[in-house]
Structure 1
Amino acid sequence: MAAYQLAQEALAAEFSARWAEILTAVEARELATSLTELSTQYQAAIRESAVASRTLSIAFYRLVRALETGRVIGGPGYRPGASLGSLWADFNRATGKRTGTGAREPLPVDTRNPFPAEDIGREAERAAETFRQQVADRVAKHERERPGREGSAALDDPALIAWERDFLESLKTAGSGAGGQIVQDGGRDMIHNALQNDPGAIGYYRATEGSPCYFCALMAARGAVYKSKRTAAFGAHPHCHCQAVPIFSRRYQLPDANTSFARMWREFGGGSLADWRAYYTKT
């Protein structure tokens, strides 16, 4: 699980680095006239990393399922004669690390394809809307507030240079956070929808990063979430690295972090989300 989570985080980080590189090539005063090109590059960067996120999630889902049930599931990436050894090899390839290995005997096959079809249009719409909110709208506001925009401020004014630098940094942070969420949602949605379509799956639990926010800690405190229409969504937010880990047997074991958050929730004793946030922050 750790290797999967780290690999998904790395994909979000790669996207963030690419977005920062894209912005570095543009002068702050040229942002308003470069939005069309920036939008194209932003969406292309999201697309590339989201595809990798989905490939990784399929390899992870198929491997976890085989380890827990002794059977391999069909769908994208399935090859006849798949074994634990070949599934580990697929996962290692997707993570870029050697994380494990297994026997080479072919596994029994469940031919059903639980993985949802890639929705390129929805992803593109979401990326375009995210760019508008996190970049284009901010640039428009920035232009309205620019000191000396009528020509009274010198381009080498130290205060203006610092102001522009801080603005570019804010665009990097906002754009990478929201875009990174779309990247990881490519994998998160793939796994969560596969759970709903796979008769062999019974639910999932939320694996958090080292120091999750109060919301993610609360969601992790729920422990196993058994699949139903009511649980057909996985909440994430910008800069969130939580992942849904599929469960195929009642003999699952939760990570220590989930158990700790559950204990913390019991000790909290109930209250509003704001009360929980205050309690969690102080604990």
Structure 2
Amino acid sequence: MRRGTAALLDDYWRAQARLGTEVSAQSLAQWSRVNPLSLVESGSVWLAFMLALIRGERRRSREQAAAFLRLYRAMETGYTLPPLQDDPVNDFTTLGELREDWARVSDTIRTPAPDDTDRIRIDGDFDWPEEPVESFDRAAVASLVSQGPAKLREQVAQAATEQTRGRLDDAGFLAELESATANTGTTAANAADREAIRSGRDLINRASQEDKRVVGWARVTDGNPCAFCAMLASRGAIYTSAATAVGGGRRKPAGSADGRARRNRRPPVSLEDLTRYHYGCHCQAVPVYSRNDFMTPDARRYDREWQQVTRGKSGAEARAAWRRHIESSRT
């Protein structure tokens, strides 16, 4: 992987993470006004505010994703996609113009590069997928409610049962209410984070599936991944069936006569796996345009660590060892 490409991938997940983290912070600020004893009213106010905020941030996430994908594809293939907006489409653009667009939407510093003037042909026969706004709104409501007001309601009911049935002058009950409100505020904020960057992830996923130049996908971690996300990243790229047929299958690991014979091979990975994201996750699934080995620096490190940590183990035992290793090293 070229240094410029690796840096862009890193910049992209960081830009999306900033967006999601900002929404998470605003969710926590608004959640401070939620009263567990008048949850219907105060929770509804919080939910309405967060939905309006998330709708706007989804647009930002989508714009960032499109600008990233146009620049990333140009750097990898020499060809790019049309602008996301309905602007007149020229036959060519330049790397410099694509970098300007990425810097604008990601609020990053634009550093001049020697190849800024390189001309990049635009593949004009491509249509960006539309955002399923209503579907995403429903997903946001379900996620926010389940991780916020509904979860708090359950904890309040449990506390009322355990602490003299919810007497307001009972110190234990009041402490339980305070703890439950704080905990659900955090889970709700994580849900808001994920919903804010849903559109960017969706755009790259669906656009790359329609892109004839894409031969596979890979997971890029957020720098502090859980064990499952680190395992996905350690696999490098998974390839489409057509790319695998042309390329003769996955590369066998060094020092192995048959990669399938290794006892500590990682669980099989699919595109569905690569595009699953838990609450608080800022990893990204990105397209791959070449069967040349696709490994970010983090992915190479996780690959080496997997081999070391799971040596002599298989199945559930290997996964458990890997999970312990990653959890012990997370910040």
- The residue correspondences of 1:1-283 to structure 2 (distance < 5 A) are 1-77=9-85, 80=90, 81-102=92-113, 103-104=116-117, 106-113=119-126, 115-147=128-160, 152-154=167-169, 159-227=172-240, 231-233=270-272, 234-251=275-292, 253-267=294-308, 268-269=310-311, 271-273=314-316, 275-282=318-325
Q: Report the Cα distance in structure 1 between the residues aligned to 2:207 and 2:112, rounded to whole angstroms.
A: 24
Mean CA deviation greater in 179-188 or 88-97: 179-188
How far off its partner does 1:170 sit? 1.2
Equivalent position SS for 1:277: helix
2:99 maps to a residue whose letter is W
How far off its partner does 1:105 sit? 5.4
Equivalent position SS for 1:282: helix
RMSD between aligned residues: 2.6
The answer to whether the 8 Å contact 2:215/2:289 transfers is yes
1:266 maps to a residue whose letter is Q
Q: Report the Cα distance in structure 2 between the residues aligned to 1:216 and 1:85, rounded to whole angstroms.
A: 33
Q: Report the Cα distance in structure 1 between the residues aligned to 2:10 and 2:51, rounded to whole angstroms.
A: 28
How far off its partner does 1:188 sit? 1.6
Distance change (3 Å), C-alpha of 1:23 and 1:274: farther
The answer to whether the 8 Å contact 2:166/2:173 transfers is no
Q: Report the Cα distance in structure 1 between the residues aligned to 2:19 and 2:125, rounded to whole angstroms.
A: 28
- TM-score normalised over the length of structure 1: 0.87
Q: Report the Cα distance in structure 1 between the residues aligned to 2:130 and 2:177, rounded to whole angstroms.
A: 42
Q: Report the Cα distance in structure 2 between the residues aligned to 1:189 and 1:114, rounded to whole angstroms.
A: 15
Equivalent position SS for 1:204: strand
Consecutive unaligned residues of structure 2, counting only runs of 5 or more, are 1-8, 243-268, 327-331
How far off its partner does 1:67 sit? 1.1
The answer to whether the 8 Å contact 1:203/1:248 transfers is yes
Share of identical aligned residues, percent?
Answer: 26
Distance change (3 Å), C-alpha of 1:149 and 1:104: farther
Distance change (3 Å), C-alpha of 1:260 and 1:109: same
Q: Report the Cα distance in structure 1 between the residues aligned to 2:106 and 2:293, rounded to whole angstroms.
A: 24
Could you give the per-residue CA deviations for residues 179-217 of structure 1, whole angstroms, max 9, x where no partner exists?
222222321221121111001111222111223111011
- TM-score normalised over the length of structure 2: 0.76
Consecutive unaligned residues of structure 1, counting only runs of 5 or more, are none
The answer to whether the 8 Å contact 1:3/1:99 transfers is no
Mean CA deviation greater in 225-234 or 259-268: 225-234
Q: Report the Cα distance in structure 2 between the residues aligned to 1:277 and 1:119, rounded to whole angstroms.
A: 38
